[in-house]
Structure 1
């Protein structure tokens, strides 16, 4: 489903997605409240959510979708790299975000990534967002010594985590490391378990705070 108050952009995104194999656009919303209502009624796998809309914005719409326990995963689309709305949407439970200037191919891949249960962060702003997570975490933005949890990771798991911290998807990591995507998923699951991280974003924050990305 596509939610954006810009009718032309909304129609354009819907058209791009409708041309992709295995992707069906089941609805369009012009504001946040309509987005929530359609998610409740249509239960789409993924909703592409603009953050700045009339009525309730994309952040509040995301919060309501997540609070309702819907299986819909929210992919935020924004024109700003340093947008507080994006930060708010991720805190509200969004599963990822992309800049609106992304290519049609990247947009389609992003929808498939979220539908597969993964998190997706646009590389252009990943470091900025992670820096905010780290700064808001106990212990300050940078640890003097490496987080002991990182010592539990194998060399391969560290490579996978480094690439994830750059904003790469499992498929992209698989390409860089010349591995099967299923193998990358297995490594990532082990990374989350060893770090005690609830999701990919928290694991990435631990890697930054623990000094992994500085090495």
Structure 2
């Protein structure tokens, strides 16, 4: 059972999401909030695994709320759910630790897949959004990404690390990658940590986005 909180300033959106999620018995909506501040208060007495977070809300927007959630509750997965496919919002949300980013007009199966992917420690980006993220990366400063040419990135990684990287790009979990490569899940995590260090990246989100430009 996955416990979920829905954060959106529009009641009709929250009700619609609850209706969609209620069709899946493995999902349990344990709370809802109309802005980021309410969401943070809600977290003082609830324990969700996943938060579906809108971006544009009064009092505290979803980007700022995501930053606070990930700082205080790093194990909670935050999926940005919005109609705004703007590169500034997208990239800032991911930099603040968002675990996925899908559009509000996504279907039930895509929403469920985003939740499953986030819970497995992976990232799901809507294809429309991926293009915006790559464009945003091109203008980002001081992340360690802009100074690495694609060829240089490939030279930095060992053949085994490249195999793990390809698994990440295919959206596979650490468990699935370990099964494919006949290594332990812990070894996969070690490879990911080494790649982050080599490429001067901070987290799996930046690693995934960096690999999208190189593999």
Identify the TM-score tier after normalising by the shorter chain.
0.7 to 0.9
In structure 2, how many angstroms separate the alpha carbons of the residues matched to 1:126 and 1:188?
25
SS in 2 for 1:106: helix
1:183 aligns with 2:179: yes
1:150 aligns with 2:157: yes
In structure 1, how many angstroms separate the alpha carbons of the residues matched to 2:115 and 2:104?
14
| Alignment correspondent of 1:23 | 27
Q: TM-score, normalised by structure 1?
A: 0.77
Q: TM-score, normalised by structure 2?
A: 0.77
| Alignment correspondent of 2:59 | 55
The runs of 5 or more residues in structure 2 that have no matched partner are: none
1:192 aligns with 2:188: no
The runs of 5 or more residues in structure 1 that have no matched partner are: none
In structure 2, how many angstroms separate the alpha carbons of the residues matched to 1:202 and 1:56?
25
Backbone CA RMSD of aligned residues: 2.9
Shift in CA distance, 155/181, structure 1 to aligned 2, threshold 3 Å: closer
Q: Deviations over 1:95-118 (max 9, x none)?
A: 111111111011012112222332
Residue correspondences, number: 200
Contact 1:192-1:198 at 8 Å conserved across structures: no
Pairing partner for 2:116 from 96, 112, 126: 112
Pairing partner for 1:169 from 153, 160, 171: 171
In structure 2, how many angstroms separate the alpha carbons of the residues matched to 1:68 and 1:86?
21
| Alignment correspondent of 2:81 | 77
Q: Deviations over 1:29-56 (max 9, x none)?
A: 1111111111222121101000001111
Q: Deviations over 1:101-137 (max 9, x none)?
A: 1110110121122223322222221232134235423
SS in 1 for 2:27: coil
In structure 2, how many angstroms separate the alpha carbons of the residues matched to 1:43 and 1:154?
35
Contact 1:51-1:86 at 8 Å conserved across structures: no
Contact 2:145-2:210 at 8 Å conserved across structures: no
In structure 1, how many angstroms separate the alpha carbons of the residues matched to 2:18 and 2:125?
21
Contact 2:53-2:78 at 8 Å conserved across structures: yes
